[in-house]
Amino acid sequence: MRIIKCGNNEIKKQCRNCGCTFAFDESEVMTDTTGRFYGTNGPLRFVVCPQCHREVKVELVIKNKMEYRVGDKVRIKSLDWYNENKDEDGYIYDGSYTFFPCMSKFCGKTFEIAKVHSNCYNVKELCAKTLDWTDEMIEGLVSRIGEGTRSFAEGQESRTKSSSELYEEYMEKINS
């Protein structure tokens, strides 16, 4: 088996108002706190269309909240951690996943997240290998690209704004 193209966690949506197709991730989903909208699964969850600034309803199935995203650079826990936690055969069991002895050579090294699954990650530098990494195996975030920004569609003026900024602008327009 081989990976043809590493994926990401972006969700694509089309605005019913203006027809704009855009991508977003879970961190950009907002929840209506005004009580204006209430769906069958509780308060409305939405994103703001980057073109017309209207609310676009989204329904997400969230299994486990993973700490890292595609593109994040993370550091695997240290060799000291491995040596302190391994059993007599060199394994560390963390519930549903195992830290195998062959993974110890990656301890302390930095990798870029290539794919986020419901409860594990694949890293870009090791896409061809079948090693799964969990939050418990990762020491922490080294860097995150594009934190809190959203690019506008092609043809619009060159600028970036966060979803909350777009939503505030939209609410100001409809309330004035």
The values of phi and psi at residue 27, to 5°, are: -65, -15
Residues 74, 11 contacting (CB under 8 angstroms): no
Average pLDDT over residues 82-104: 87
- Residue 48 Ramachandran class (φ > 0 left, ψ -120 to 50 alpha, else beta): beta
Q: What is the mean pLDDT of residues 37-62?
A: 71
| Lowest pLDDT segment from 10-19, 34-43, 92-101, 161-170 | 34-43
pLDDT (tens digit, 9 = 90+) per residue, 134-147? 889 999 888 887 55
| 36 pLDDT more than 70 | no
State the pLDDT at residue 96: 64
Q: Of all residues in the chain, what percent carry a pLDDT higher than 90?
A: 19
Instruction: Say whether pLDDT at 92 is over 70.
Output: yes
In this predicted structure, the answer to whether residue 65 has a pLDDT above a threshold of 80 is no
pLDDT of residue 155: 39
Confidence grade of residue 74 (pLDDT, cut at 50, 70, 90): very high
12-48: buried (b, 16+ CB within 10 Å) or exposed (e) per residue?
ebebeeeebebebbbebbbebeeeeeeeeeeebbbbb
Binned at pLDDT 50, 70 and 90, residue 23 comes out as confident
Sorted by where each begins, the domain ranges of the chain are 11-64+160-175, 73-143
pTM: 0.47
